[in-house]
Structure 1
Amino acid sequence: MTTPDSVAMPSTCRDDELRQLMRGLLSTIGDKWTLAVVAALVDGELRFSEVQRRVAGISHRMLTKTLRDLERDGLVGRRVHAEVPPRVEYTLTPLGHTLLAPVDGLARWVEEYGHTVLRNRGDRP
């Protein structure tokens, strides 16, 4: 059986530090909510409540955590406006936009092979 630690890494990721980073990033990006939040921010800057409306079912707490994780990694930017009450807006950074191409590639892979995966799982004839 293959474990995350035994999965072959691309040749550019032979360094232990980068391997550890890759596992962490895959965990963040593969999270249930991350890609939905990224998709919500594709069209531009949004307030917290607008992101929450666009990501159906996400709790306030989980959206806060997801945005903090994405901001920590430099994928999302946060801008606080000096108003009363303070207005906070989130946007994809240039680095965050670079995530869209690999995600699109994954979506195309699922379109091409998803039915095969479902058949293998026994979910489809």
Structure 2
Amino acid sequence: MIIRSYQPSDAAPTLALFRDTVQKINAKDYTADQIAVWAGHEQSLAAWHASFMQHVALVALDEAETIIGFADMASDGYLDRLYVSAAHQREGVGKRLVAALEQRVVSSQYTAYVSITAQPFFKAMGYSTI
């Protein structure tokens, strides 16, 4: 697995990964209406890309250089997004992305608003629920 900085050409594949992951992984904890709103099919690719450019953003690639996960963090330590492909859950992708972000963004406190689905992962990473 390779972790590298987000590039403009990553916008479309990360948006597709996000939507697919929400629909396949988070659907067990949320209603169909909640998933439809969350997957945000009305969000433009330009807005998606612009949001990454405001943060430190990383992508995880497999051996074929396909994006299998991504994450981004604001300069104050706020972890905005962390998504891992449905096909690569529980392989350490999320841990590697979070660790790489925490190395790049020095903060006295790291925070995130996380889904019900992601709470066990973040607890295992040392985050506290408030």
TM, length-normalised to structure 2: 0.27
Name which one, 1 or 2, has greater alpha-carbon Rg: 1
TM, length-normalised to structure 1: 0.28
- Higher normalized helix content (fraction of residues): 1
